[in-house]
Structure 1
Amino acid sequence: MSAALILLAYAAVLALAGPRLLARGDWTERAPKLGIIAWQSLAATIVVSVALAGFALVVPTMRVSADLADLLKACIMALRSQYATPGGAAAAAVGATAGLAVLARAVWCVAASLTTAVRSRGRHRDTLALVGTPSPRLGAVVVDHDEPAVYCLPGWRRRIVVTTGALRLLDDDQLAATLAHERAHLDQRHDLVLAWSGGLARAFPRIRLFTQAHTETMRLVELLADDVAARTSERLTLAEALLNLAGARTPAAALGAGGTTAALRVRRLIAPHRPLGRARTALTSTTVAVLLALPLIGLAAPAIATGHLHYCPPGSVAASTMR
């Protein structure tokens, strides 16, 4: 019971304090990839902690013995004591049900989000096959439409789509920077990251952390794609392209160069580039890893301690052989 309460308290503290800590300062904008990992790790840690809290009610905790016979005897007695009373059996049933329900809900909603996106992209690809013209020079499909837009469809049959309106509006350098932005989305599989965060937000809509994590992830994947594109293009050139595409509409399940975050991204690209230092990056990465590992370490501590003990005293095997 104590382990379950500790895990639930840990999840509650992270749900309340985690977003405030991650939103403090501008470090996620300076290191968007690390910011994505931090938000996703925070959400995953809460799900895992709540699920493990339920499973902790199923198996009672006990002191570990150095003797194998005493350990097995203690296990049997603890299990009998746990399930002999209606309250113990009920707690175990509730814990198992709650743990499985949390995991099942998360997996189901993430899978549903991914499935919906895959189907929507499939229908859009079928339409592109009818109205689009492949351009080997651009590595994209050109669609005859006056509205300027550049977007990508991730997946196994990934596509980058450019409208003729965008071709008329953007110069060669701006178009190259925009295409590099879309290729970054495809190469780094940002669609899977968004499916995960969107699935958790859909699974637990009343918990603000999950919706906030999804919103932040959508913003940070765009910043990360901008940084990747800026490796081969001028940051000001990319900012000009974003201004030209700021009002572009992106189809469902696609990732576009424009959008509602264009103004923030333009300001970020115009300002001097200030990447996060190595020391702060290492400190943040370590903190994220510790937060994610704490629930697993806490629940596995008895098993780890047991593994380091010697159940057979030295010389017992030799003595039994001589008999």
Structure 2
Amino acid sequence: MIVAAVLLAYAVLLCTLAPRLLRSAGWAERAPRLGIVVWQVLGASALTAAVLAGSALTVPTVRVSADLAELLQACVMALTAQYASPGGAAAGAAGAVLALAVPGRVAWCAGAALLRIRRERREHREVLDMVGRPDPRRGVVVLDHDEPAAYCLPGRHRRTVITIGALRSLDDDQLAAVLAHERAHQAERHDAVLAWAQTLARAFPRVSLFRTAEAEIARLVEMRADDVAAALTGRLTTAAALLTVAGGRTPAVALAAGGSTAARRVRRLIEPHHPLSRAGIAAGSLTAAVVLALPLLVVGGPAAAATQLNYCPEGTPAAQITTMR
């Protein structure tokens, strides 16, 4: 019961305090890839803690034994002791609901999102095949549209799409920056990162951690792609390219160089660049690893101590057999 309470308290703290603390910190913009990982780790750790808390309420800790008969008897006696009282039975039922409902809800929302995304991407690919013009030299699909826009359609049959208006408005270096931005999305599978964040936000819409993580990850993946483009063509060139395509309309299922975050990203590219130090990245990575492992450590400590417990009182057949041995 204590383990379950600790895990539930930990999950609540992550879901309420972590979004406020992390969102106010400016280091994520200096290391977008680390920021993406940290937001994902927070969500995974909160889910793991909730599921393990439910499991701890449902199944009491029993002594680990190499003797299968002793282990089964200890399990039966521990379960009988817990569910003998109304309070224990209620706690066990609540734990079972929690342990099953959380992963079940996530799986349902993930399946629905996957089917929807696959359908929308397939429909858009069919449209591109009809109205787009392949440009093998650049490796893009060109749309005959005067509005400057560029985006990528991720997935197994990926496409990088650019309009005639963008080709006319961008110089060679700016075009290289835009294409590098879109290809960074594809190479680092930012579509999968965003899909997972969106799944958690839709599965638990009232949990601030998942709502905030969805918005922050959407912002950070664009900054990460900006950094890849800036490393190739320069920060000012990338900023100018973003300004050119920022107002272009793109489908919801795609990842675009412009979008609602373009203004903040342009300012970030123009301002003096101060990337996070190696020590800061190492500290952040270590913290993320600890946060991810903490629920397992909370469960693992009592489980290890349980190897020394004896749930069979003196006089029971198992205890007599143990004594004779």
TM-score in terms of structure 2 length: 0.89
Query: Which residue of the partner structure matches residue 128 of structure 2?
Result: 128
Shift of 1:176: 0.8
Query: Which residue of the partner structure matches residue 236 of structure 2?
Result: 236
Query: Which residue of the partner structure matches residue 194 of structure 2?
Result: 194
In structure 2, C-alpha distance between the alignment counterparts of 1:48 and 1:65, rounded to whole Å: 23
Instruction: Report whether the alignment pairs 1:171 with 2:162.
Output: no
Q: Which amino acid aligns with 1:205?
A: P
1:111–1:199 contact (8 Å) kept in structure 2: no
Shift of 1:26: 1.3
In structure 2, C-alpha distance between the alignment counterparts of 1:216 and 1:239, rounded to whole Å: 20
1:23-47 C-alpha deviation (Å, 9 max, x unpaired): 2331000000000011111111111
1:120–1:252 contact (8 Å) kept in structure 2: no
Q: Which amino acid aligns with 1:11?
A: A
- Compared CA separation, residues 97 and 225, structure 1 to 2 (3 A): same
The number of residues matched between the two structures is 310
* Structure 2 portions without partners, runs of 5+: 310-324
* Structure 1 portions without partners, runs of 5+: 310-319
- Compared CA separation, residues 4 and 234, structure 1 to 2 (3 A): same
1:154–1:186 contact (8 Å) kept in structure 2: yes
Shift of 1:172: 1.1
Shift of 1:17: 1.5
- Compared CA separation, residues 65 and 145, structure 1 to 2 (3 A): closer
Query: Which residue of the partner structure matches residue 99 of structure 1?
Result: 99
2:149–2:246 contact (8 Å) kept in structure 1: no
Shift of 1:137: 1.1
Instruction: Report whether the alignment pairs 1:28 with 2:21.
Output: no
Map 1:1-323 to 2 at 5 A.
1-61=1-61, 64=63, 74-305=74-305
Report sequence identity in percent. 59
Whose RCO is larger (CA < 8 A, sep 6+)?
Answer: 2
2:19–2:208 contact (8 Å) kept in structure 1: no
RMSD of the alignment, in Å?
2.2
1:32–1:223 contact (8 Å) kept in structure 2: yes
2:61–2:303 contact (8 Å) kept in structure 1: no
2:14–2:209 contact (8 Å) kept in structure 1: no
Shift of 1:229: 1.2
In structure 2, C-alpha distance between the alignment counterparts of 1:132 and 1:152, rounded to whole Å: 13
2:34–2:285 contact (8 Å) kept in structure 1: yes
In structure 2, C-alpha distance between the alignment counterparts of 1:304 and 1:155, rounded to whole Å: 44
TM-score in terms of structure 1 length: 0.90
Shift of 1:14: 1.2
1:28–1:34 contact (8 Å) kept in structure 2: yes
Q: Which amino acid aligns with 2:154?
A: P
2:143–2:163 contact (8 Å) kept in structure 1: yes
Shift of 1:111: 2.6
Q: Which amino acid aligns with 2:302?
A: P
- Compared CA separation, residues 115 and 71, structure 1 to 2 (3 A): closer
The more displaced of 244-253 and 89-98 is: 89-98
In structure 2, C-alpha distance between the alignment counterparts of 1:67 and 1:270, rounded to whole Å: 64
1:43-92 C-alpha deviation (Å, 9 max, x unpaired): 11111111111111111135x58996876654432122123334433322
In structure 1, C-alpha distance between the alignment counterparts of 2:47 and 2:225, rounded to whole Å: 28
In structure 2, C-alpha distance between the alignment counterparts of 1:308 and 1:73, rounded to whole Å: 16
In structure 2, C-alpha distance between the alignment counterparts of 1:206 and 1:66, rounded to whole Å: 43
- Compared CA separation, residues 88 and 308, structure 1 to 2 (3 A): closer
In structure 2, C-alpha distance between the alignment counterparts of 1:256 and 1:163, rounded to whole Å: 12
Q: Which amino acid aligns with 1:38?
A: V
In structure 2, C-alpha distance between the alignment counterparts of 1:101 and 1:269, rounded to whole Å: 43
2:33–2:224 contact (8 Å) kept in structure 1: yes
